[in-house]
Structure 1
Amino acid sequence: MTMNQRNTIDLEQGWDFMQKGITKLKNILEGLPEPQFSSEDYMMLYTYYSALYILIRIVEICINFYAVVKCLGAHLILIYRTIYNMCTQKPPHDYSQQLYDKYRESFEEYITTTVLPSLREKHDEFMLRELVKRWSNHKIMVRWLSRFFHYLDRYFVARRSLPALKEVGLTCFRDLVYMELSGKVRDAVISLIDQEREGEQIDRALLKNVLDIFVEIGMGQMDYYENDFEAAMLKDTAAYYSRKASNWILDDSCPDYMLKAEECLKREKDRVAHYLHSSSESKLLEKVQHELLSVYATQLLEKEHSGCHALLRDDKVDDLSRMYRLFSKIPRGLEPVAHIFKQHVTAEGTALVKQAEDAASIATLIWKITCRVSLMHILYDAAEKRDVIGLQEQVFVRKVIELHDKFMAYVNDCFLNHTLFHKALKEAFEVFCNKGVAGSSSAELLATFCDNILKKGGSEKLSDEAIEETLEKVVKLLAYISDKDLFAEFYRKKLARRLLFDKSANDEHERSILTKLKQQCGGQFTSKMEGMVTDLTLARENQASFEEYLSNSPNANPGIDLTVTVLTTGFWPSYKSFDLNLPAEMVKCVEVFREFYQTKTKHRKLTWIYSLGTCNINGKFEQKTIELIVTTYQAAALLLFNASDRLSYQEIMTQLNLSDDDVVRLLHSLSCAKYKILTKEPSTKTISPTDVFEFNSKFTDKMRRIKIPLPPVDEKKKVIEDVDKDRRYAIDASIVRIMKSRKVLGYQQLVMECVEQLGRMFKPDVKAIKKRIEDLITRDYLERDKDNPNLFKYLA
């Protein structure tokens, strides 16, 4: 038979011929010697087969393409040609189905007679090595035989919708070899993995090749890998780490346990990278995390001397970071960590409050003792007491800021800004930041702290950069204060004093903190404060215009230097305004400025707040003249003695037209305090309505210029009253807004929505809301439903 002839080929004849080529291929795979072609025959074969060579890839594993071609010789081409002829002969000599069956039988025969016996006689690692070798050879055999029978794949298989030749070859191995040995192979692999976990060296490349068989045998599906290997491997992993964890949790500290757990997780990831399939990573790590962390989470976190509380107490930053990394990977693992963090921060903050309370109590006790035993300073008053205690309060705020910096660093660095820990920090600070210290609310303490930083001569001596940084931190603390409106009112009072008495150290810092407050609390929160700062700028311009007016109007000379600060009523805190009977010198000043102001506008009314004024007057004493810096009230009282040498309490009160409280304060400051400009009879340390006063011409002081302060009024009560009043208005407005949009609403829902609306500024008391609802009903804004008293209707 020649290659060009198309004689009919019988099945037996053709298959015998093909069997020789298949046998040669088997011998090559088994490493048996096969005669090779001469160089002339090889060149002829290579030239003829070049077209086929282009269509197939070079076999790289174990067998070289050229070596196979040399060994198979002319059979390679003749087999291909023979199969083509046998499949294209006219029926009944078309042997496509028979060749398809013979193809499968040749694999089954080879596996049964050669492959399985060689595997059965080996065990453990030797069996694995033999399996890898046999699987590699089998894939080569499949590749070559599928090329021998390529015509079947191209036409017969396609027309009949049969499994492809490659699939048939792999299925033979799966059904005969894999099904018999997969259990032993799985156990051997898991044993090697356990050996590696115990520190032994194993052949990772071997395991990689074995596990690739589980993947490849699925022919595109992961079922065999997952069901026949992965499930058992995960079960063994869980058991292994369960045994380890039960010992470690008893013997190791929390940091040591976490180090071991982290190392185990790292090694398991390394195993996936080297030989396990990538799809196993998440399942494997989940098993390890469950056994090492989830099972013992509570026991681990609450270890007495090394748990989470101890790590926070001892500032173990690295261990806390490791704890976060580990527990963030288990379901809801961070929740107990965040809870402990919140408990710890709350305890630390509450301890600061207790410490500040104790320090204030000691300061008060020292103040009382000093008042009793000191002969030089027997006149300590409430203001001096407040200064002593106030220093402790400033220290408290500074410590709270430091505490916040410390734990915010934990949140940022150890806990990677996780929302759970931000929430825990917020809730913890809300607990103790809303506790009072020595009768002062946190809102007042923060406002006082800011005042101390921003005013001239404050106890906080800081650089500009440090001031900006500190103000930023104070504003962050404000976020935890529930009574933000109370802070705003205290801050506004202190801002007014800084601005009006030129106590502000830096205008830029004043504007900077207002910007920060605006970003934190909204524009409405700072609108009045911004108006106050703007007012001072306009007031300076107004004063310049007044001075220009005086220079251009000689007849309008007030006789003394006069500076007037014009303010907008709505921006500034409310101050008491009395019709003080001014001395003649001051009356002229007021009239001159009023005439000037009427040239600027005729639509605004000036209300003079004399309690905020200051005067510089010359006191002519026997030894020398001393310039006295006093308030307008004090100046008015002292100028009365230019016309009278001796005045009674009642005469002074009548001539000045002041209240009892104000007269007592100013006379005490002039006759009983450090600088006794007036003498009184009787010579007691308190002021009474029967006292008589004279100018103390013998007064002297080493300074030529002294400031005589009025005892400051404790404005806390008034601030709280003002805030309560504003809150009533805010609650009313909120209720009306809600009811206007909803028309009909139940009591509970109305209260909830009202609390939610007002929560940004303060937490309204439910009783206060109920009271405001009743008030709005009496004012015909709301009415109760006749059938349901807990249902309200809006009255347009």
Structure 2
Amino acid sequence: MAEEDSFSSSATTSQEQEQLENRNLIVPSVAADHHTDDLTEASTTLSGFAGVKLGTGSVKKLVIRNFKDKPLILENYTEEAWQKLKEAVQAIQNNTSVQYSLEELYQSVKNLCSYNLSANLYKQLKQLCEQHIRAEIHQLREYSLDTGPFLKKMDKCWQDHARQMSMIRNIFLFLDRTYVFQISMLSSIWDMGLELFKSYIIRDQNVQSRTIDGILLLIEKERNGEMIDRCLIQRLLSMLSDLQIYQVSFENKFLEETNRFYAAEGRKLVQKKEIPGCLYHIKNLLEEEVDRVRAYLSLNTQKLLIAIVEKQLLGEHLSAVLQKGKDVFEAFYKKDLARRLLLGKSASVDAEKSMLSKLKQECGTAFTNKLQGMFKDMELSKDTMIQLKQYMQNQNIPGNIELTVNILTTSFWPTYIPKEIHLPPEMERLQENFKNFYLSKHSGRKLQWQSTLGHCVLKAEFKKGKKELQVTLFQTLVLLMFNEGDHFSLEEIKMATGLEDRELRRTLQSLACGRARVLIKNPKGKDVEDGDRFFCNEEFKHKLFKIKINQIQEKETVFFSS
């Protein structure tokens, strides 16, 4: 039995005991479940003795059982572990390298939590984060008085904070998912960081006011035509949203400033004598504000913002503007509204209808009847297209062109001069199919095709890749010719398309002399001349897949009041 005793003692030699202590940072008075790996390693070391015969010749197997009690914390381990975690957090906050691996730091957090030290660990971490944030906000208070540098510093402070809290949370993930998760009154480590940042921002009125006033100043500069850093504003406003102070700290003050700005702008408009220019300006301002919302403001701000702009530019001053000449205004507004509706360029249908409501109040029903009729035509056209699709399916009408038709009541819309053109056979068949369908439902009506309003989407394949070209019907007729040949003269294109000379030259100029040159003109030049020849630009390339090729615009008549 003396030999058996020697085996038992070999399993718990002081040297192996020391190895276990060093690996787990605890003294294993008796083994715990989470030290199975260390005990397995000890068992492996002793496996060579398992087959030794004892006394009577029987083989004795050595069995090592798990420790029953929880290990004791190694002396000074709590302080040492926290010191290590503290150094790591401070290194992250100071943007210096962390000396320890994430695995090692994570294990330290897990060990401390295993010994009911979670509450103290959370408290110490919060104090450490609070000290850092307090120091950062104090630096901001003393920072440059210039708006631009201050806002950039504020942005950097926030971006650094978000990045740092993300890294810190990764280290303390075990604490976050166990102790913090189980106590409803505690904020997660990420939310705790947000709350501390928010608390010190709100507490320091100097920093908060300089941030909000700086953002408002940049927005006013943009409204006055200056270029600003939109991305900077977007990030700062996202910060306010994340801190849940966007509405209280920013939006209310922003709307007050908007009201003040457009009240002054409205007074300027009343002084203008040129009605079309005045209304174009109003339209552009509305579109700019919608774009501003899309770029960096909260979508919830849009409705309140547009209401203020409309009130100041239309509600308060519309009567004065319209008194300068209702007839001129109607002609101008109808033409511009028609373009927006037919080309789908309206920034907001609700804004258009709101404008119509204002006009009705100011000018009466007779003034707005035609404008309302234009909206009604667009809605009826959508229903007609649904019926047309069903009709073509029932009739088994083949074709690979998707046709959309807007049916316009002549008396509602501006006057358009019809132009004769030569359509490809497949397009002619589509028009004929639509005519048969429509007249079968509305007998006695007369259809007149307005080719000047036609638009198409062409799928084109170049050497550099496939593209979708958004073009006018006239541009379409020219481009489709290059499916049948490599090059054509001005006279040949004119003969094939039926376009009148001035319209054809503008169309070719847009395709061969503009920014997106899908055709090549020989000889080169900005204008289209007699004898010019046109080639398909096989090497055409563009960063976008969908490309809109704008038509060269004719000079429009400008209306002035007397």
| TM-score, L = length of structure 1 | 0.37
Please point out which of 360, 364, 376 is paired with 1:490: 364
Total equivalences in the alignment = 353
CA positional deviation for 1:336: 2.1
- 1:290 corresponds in structure 2 to 198
8 Å CA contact 1:426–1:480 kept in 2: the answer is no
1:512 to 375, 378, 397: 378
Instruction: Give yes or no for the alignment of 1:69 onto 2:44.
Output: yes
Higher helix share: 1
**Does residue 189 in structure 1 map to residue 85 in structure 2?**
yes
Shift in CA distance, 357/57, structure 1 to aligned 2, threshold 3 Å: closer
Residue 228 (structure 1) aligned with residue 117 (structure 2): no
Partner of 2:13: 23
If you compute each CA radius of gyration, which structure gives the higher value, 1 or 2?
1
Q: Is 1:399 aligned with 2:292? A: no
**Cα deviation 1:731-767 (Å, max 9, x = unaligned):** xxxxxxxxxxxxxxxxxxxxxxxxxxxxxxxxxxxxx
Change (3 A) 1:302 1:536: closer
Q: Is the 8 A contact 1:234 1:284 kept in 2?
A: yes
With over 3 angstroms needed to count, the CA separation of the structure-2 counterparts of 1:353 and 1:467, relative to structure 1, is: farther
Deviation, 1:414, is: 1.0
Pairing 1:645-794 to 2, within 5 Å after superposition: none
Residue of structure 1 in register with 2:166 after alignment: 269
Q: Return the match for 1:350 from 263, 272, 285.
A: 263
Change in 2 beyond 3 A, CA 1:76/1:30:
farther
Match of residue 316 from structure 2:
436
Amino acid at match of 1:23: T
Structure 1 position 19, deviation (Å): 3.9
Aligned to 1:413: 295
Paired AA for residue 117 in structure 2: Y
Task: Tell me how far apart the structure 1 counterparts of residues 207 and 168 of structure 2 sit (CA, whole Å).
Answer: 27
Q: 2:242 maps to which residue?
A: 329
Would the alpha carbon gap of residues 495 and 231 (structure 1) be closer, same or farther in structure 2, given more than 3 Å must change? same
Structure 1 distance, partners of 2:326, 2:125, is 60
Identity of aligned residues (%): 8
* 1:190 to 1:213, Cα distance in 2 relative to 1, 3 A: closer
Aligned mates of 2:105, 2:7 — CA distance in 1: 36
* 2:332 aligned partner: 452
TM-score (norm 2): 0.50
Residues 402-437 of structure 1 show CA distances to partners (whole Å, capped at 9, x for unaligned) of: 12221212212213x532x12431442354145333
Q: CA deviation at 1:447?
A: 10
| CA–CA separation in structure 1 for the residues paired with 2:95 and 2:344 | 53
Deviations along 1:324-382, one digit per CA (max 9) or x if unpaired, are: 221111133443221232123223321221111222xxxxxxxxxxxxxxxxxxxxxxx
Q: What's the CA shift string for 1:6-41, capped at 9, x where partnerless?
A: xxxxxx998886343222782582699xxxxxxxxx
When residues 242 and 15 of structure 1 are mapped into structure 2, their CA distance, relative to the original with a 3 A threshold, is: farther
1:148 correspondence with 2:23: no
> How far did residue 237 of structure 1 move?
1.0
1:443 shift after superposition: 12
Alignment map for 1:481-630 (pairs within 5 Å): 483=358, 486=361, 490=364, 492-493=366-367, 495=369, 511-512=377-378
Residue 260 in structure 1 maps to residue 144 in structure 2: no
Kept in 2: contact 1:258–1:322 (CA 8 A): yes
In the TM superposition, what whole-angstrom CA distance separates every residue of 1:290-345 from its partner, at most 9, and x where no partner exists? Answer: 2563434x534532996121121233311210112211111334432212321232
Matched, 1:312 2:219: yes
Instruction: Indicate conservation of the 8 Å contact 2:293/2:302, yes or no.
Output: yes
Distance 1:434 1:336 in 2: 28
Q: Which amino acid aligns with 1:404?
A: L
Corresponding residue of 1:479: 354
Q: Verify the 8 A CA contact 1:238 1:291 in the aligned structure 2.
A: no
3-state SS, counterpart of residue 199 of structure 1: coil
| From 71, 80, 83, the counterpart of 1:172 | 71
Q: Please, which runs of 5 or more residues in structure 1 have no aligned partner?
A: 2-11, 33-55, 79-84, 87-144, 151-164, 360-388, 500-506, 517-531, 538-796
Structure 1 residue 72: Cα displacement: 5.2
Give the conservation status (yes or no) of the 8 Å contact 2:233–2:296.
yes
- Structure 1 residues 130-174: Cα deviation after superposition (integer angstroms, max 9, x where no partner): xxxxxxxxxxxxxxx9x8226xxxxxxxxxxxxxx5xx44x222x
Structure 2: unaligned runs, 5 residues or longer: 23-32, 54-59, 145-149, 178-187, 223-227, 383-407, 414-562
* C-alpha distance in 1 between matches for 2:338 and 2:410: 25
**Alpha-carbon contact 2:43-2:64 (below 8 Å) kept:** no
Work out the CA distance in 2 between the residues paired with 1:286 and 1:330: 6
CA distance in 2, matches of 1:406, 1:249: 34
Q: Which residue of 1 is the match for residue 252 of structure 2?
A: 339
Give RMSD over aligned pairs: 5.1
Q: Is the 8 A contact 1:196 1:202 kept in 2?
A: yes
183 and 476 in structure 1: CA distance in 2 versus 1, 3 angstrom threshold: same
2:134/2:200 contact within 8 Å kept? yes
